[in-house]
Amino acid sequence: MANEEAFSPSAQPLKLQNHKSASNNKAMFTWIIIAIIVLFVGGWLCFCFRRKLCAKFRSYKNKKQKGKLEVEKMTVRRFGLEELKKATNNFSQSCLVGSGAFGNVYRGTFDVEGSLAIKTPHAESYTSTEEFRNEVRLLSKVKHNNLVRLMGFCEETGPETAKILVYEYVTNGSLLDYIIGRSGICLTWRERVMIAIGAAKGIAHLHEGISPSIIHRDIKPSNILIGEGFEAKVSDFGLVRCGPIGDQSHVSSQIKGTPGYLDPAYCSSFHLTPFTDVYSFGVILLQLVTARPAVESTRSNTKSHIIDWARPSIENASIEDILDVNLLTQECNIEMMLKMGEIALRCVEKVPKERPTMSQVWQELEAALNKVDNLLTKKPLEEDSQRLTTLNMVDNFLPKQPLEEESQRLITKTNHAMNHRIRRSSTNHDYSHSIVSEDGIGLQRFHVDIDSLSFQSTSLRCLETSISIDEDVGVSR
């Protein structure tokens, strides 16, 4: 029976059906695994592709909208090109106030802002729109009383492209105008010191008051403007560059700047540091003292730098030999000018790290000026104190009690004898007075030497003019 069931015709299809079902399940399981792998790989590829695509899209979107977004963050105004044309009469020559290697500067008049300085760069000044935007973003952080403030910018694309910077307008020209005498005004020694202190504070703010720091790279007299109160304002940030960040000691850069003010260490190494600006400022300090150009051609057709020319006199403390002749014709504090020259020589040391920082420069200048002011204030006080001491000495020698009648008569007789001497010696400042003794026996003589002194003592009301008595007077009862 068992064998009959095993070999029965009805059992054979059931076995084949079970085998076929197992094969189908195995195939289905295999396809599920393959599908999972495909989905996983496809999902991973899709994720990577999407991430990359989104990153590119965001970068493109940010790049396209960067100008607008930065304006919102920087709180500077975006000017239209037509607005700037109207303010400058279509950039006419009558509105041109300056021109340099970077571009032209025009004075624009606006209904709300008043006068502003509009700087139009040359076509080659910016290599790309992004470079222009980076500078706008960088300069928008600059807010200091001794730095010219960026008020806004103009960026236009299309048929009429424009990359224009708009600054506050500074009224009294540049320091160069005063050094070369173009303004017709000679700066006093105090004004020169105050301008140096203000400019140093502005540059120090660029180096230390902003993160990342800014290196100006073109410090020179024409880039130091003079405000209404004769305060210094550093301008022309066309060559600014971000300074070292973190542990960096320098940044590498192409050599840019003005001959005569360029740091030799920067020219030889291409290493740009804040001390590059310190060197340039040292040259300006020498120019404030001497009113000479940074580089001057001599009769032998050789060029003499102001550092080489001024160094011997400063080191020998003979500042008068190189001092601006205009300062010699007016009151001038020689010690302060010498101090400025000494600081200048420290600023132009060959090794950059041996130079002071800009903060140290303005602090030393300010400390020296305060010392001078204290001495000037102390001197009149000492003179007044000396006068008071002399007056007290005179009053101590005078009788404190009213004289007796006989002594009063003695004074009357003596006055008659002195009348002719009073008229003759009215301009003499060597006072001589006689003291009468209580018993009327004789006169004791003493002299009081006082320069330009006006007696206010009630005991000397009889002496309305300067008196000098050369003879001894004897009196007897």
For residue 102, the tally of other CB atoms under 10 A from its CB is 19
Task: Note the pLDDT of residue 10.
Answer: 53
Task: Note the pLDDT of residue 78.
Answer: 92
- Dig out the tokens for 477 from the structure: 């009862």
Task: Note the pLDDT of residue 459.
Answer: 38
Q: Tell me how far apart the alpha carbons of residues 258 and 267 are, in angstroms, rounded to a whole number.
A: 12
Task: Note the pLDDT of residue 299.
Answer: 60
| Residue pair 52/60 in contact by the 8 Å Cβ criterion | no
Within 75-150, residue ranges assigned H as helices are: 81-87, 129-139
Helix axes 358-397, 274-290, angle to 10 degrees: 40
Task: Note the pLDDT of residue 359.
Answer: 97
Task: Note the pLDDT of residue 140.
Answer: 86
Please confirm, yes or no, whether 384 is among the known catalytic residues. Answer: no
Which domains does the chain carry? 71-159 (3.30.200.20), 170-370 (1.10.510.10), 398-460 (no CATH)
- Dig out the tokens for 41 from the structure: 């790989």
- Greatest Cα-to-Cα distance within the chain, rounded to the nearest angstrom: 189
Between strands 114-121 and 162-168, the pairing is antiparallel
Q: 446 vs 158, 197, 317, 436, CA distance in Å?
A: 98, 54, 46, 11
Residue 280 has phi, psi (to 5 degrees) of -60, -40
pLDDT tens per residue across all 477 residues of the chain: 445 444 555 555 555 555 556 666 777 778 888 888 888 888 888 777 777 766 665 655 555 544 453 554 557 899 999 999 999 999 999 999 888 777 889 999 998 889 999 999 887 777 778 888 888 888 888 889 999 999 999 998 877 888 999 999 998 989 999 988 887 888 999 999 999 999 999 999 999 988 888 898 889 999 999 998 889 999 887 565 655 544 454 455 567 778 999 999 989 888 889 999 999 999 999 999 999 999 987 666 567 899 999 999 999 999 999 999 999 888 999 999 999 999 999 999 999 999 999 999 999 999 999 999 888 777 665 665 666 566 555 455 445 445 455 556 555 555 555 554 444 444 444 433 333 343 433 444 434 443 443 334 333 333 333 334 344 434 433
- Dig out the tokens for 366 from the structure: 């300010």
The annotation status of 119 as a binding-site residue, yes or no, is: yes
Q: Which of 218, 236, 277, 324 is catalytic?
A: 218
Sorted by sequence, the CB contacts under 8 Å of residue 56 that are 6+ apart come out as: none
Cα 396 to its chain centre, rounded Å, is 56
Number of H helices, E strands in the chain: 13, 16
Rounded to two decimals, the pTM is 0.64
- Dig out the tokens for 173 from the structure: 């020209």
Task: Note the pLDDT of residue 471.
Answer: 40
Task: Note the pLDDT of residue 381.
Answer: 57
